[in-house]
């Protein structure tokens, strides 16, 4: 079983979202180019759907909650997703040096991100 690595909550106003989750749930938040949060042992962010990383924000909608997982073999995980009735919404794209992300939808349409991280490139 893969642990949850990161969680995004898609937002049209990341600062407002950060304030909401901080006030309601006690998240530790930072705002800026990429507003982030920490909730217990989970790190996450509020991708800006108006000004964020285009390949990712083009497949997200306001309010989407996107969990990130890092399979041992990204290509094999994508093949399995399709074989099991899912759909690739975003083929792997390098979002930061050595950090590849793909987004898939399960058969019901729920979205998850699959990543490959080259920790030596960071």
Q: Per the domain annotation, does 57 fall within a domain? A: yes
85 is a domain residue = yes
How sure is the predictor about 104, in pLDDT bands with cuts at 50, 70 and 90?
Answer: very high
In a domain, 122, yes or no: no
Of 31-40, 61-70, 82-91, 103-112, the poorest mean pLDDT is in 31-40
In a domain, 80, yes or no: yes
Range(s) of the domain holding residue 41 = 6-117
The number of distinct structural domains making up the chain is: 1
Residue 107 in any domain: the answer is yes
1 lies in a domain? no
CATH of the domain at 20: 3.10.180.10
Helices (H) and strands (E) in the chain, counts: 3, 8
Which pLDDT belongs to residue 3? 85
What's the predicted TM-score (pTM) here? 0.90
Task: Answer whether 98's CB lies under 8 Å from 118's CB.
Answer: yes
Does residue 15 belong to any structural domain of this protein? yes
Q: Write the pLDDT tens digit of every residue in 42-91.
A: 999 999 999 999 999 999 999 999 999 999 999 999 999 999 999 999 99
| CA nearest to 73, candidates 102, 97, 96, 109 | 102
Does a structural domain hold residue 98? yes
Residue 62 to residue 26: CA distance in whole angstroms: 21
pLDDT at 2 (0 to 100):
83
Residue 17 burial by Cβ neighbours in a 10 Å radius (0-12, 13-18, 19+): buried
pLDDT more than 90, % of the chain: 84
């Amino acid at each position: 079983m893969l642990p949850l690595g990161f969680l995004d909550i898609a937002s049209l106003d990341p600062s407002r979202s950060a304030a909401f989750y901080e006030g309601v749930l006690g998240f530790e938040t930072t705002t800026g180019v990429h507003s982030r949060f920490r909730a217990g042992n989970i790190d996450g962010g509020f991708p800006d759907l108006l000004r964020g990383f285009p390949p990712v924000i083009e497949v997200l909608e306001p309010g989407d909650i996107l969990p990130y997982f890092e399979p041992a073999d990204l290509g094999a995980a994508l093949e399995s997703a399709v074989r099991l009735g899912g759909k690739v919404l975003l083929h792997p794209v390098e979002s930061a040096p050595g950090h590849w992300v793909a987004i898939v939808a399960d058969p019901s349409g729920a979205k998850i991100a699959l990543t490959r991280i080259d920790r030596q490139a960071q």
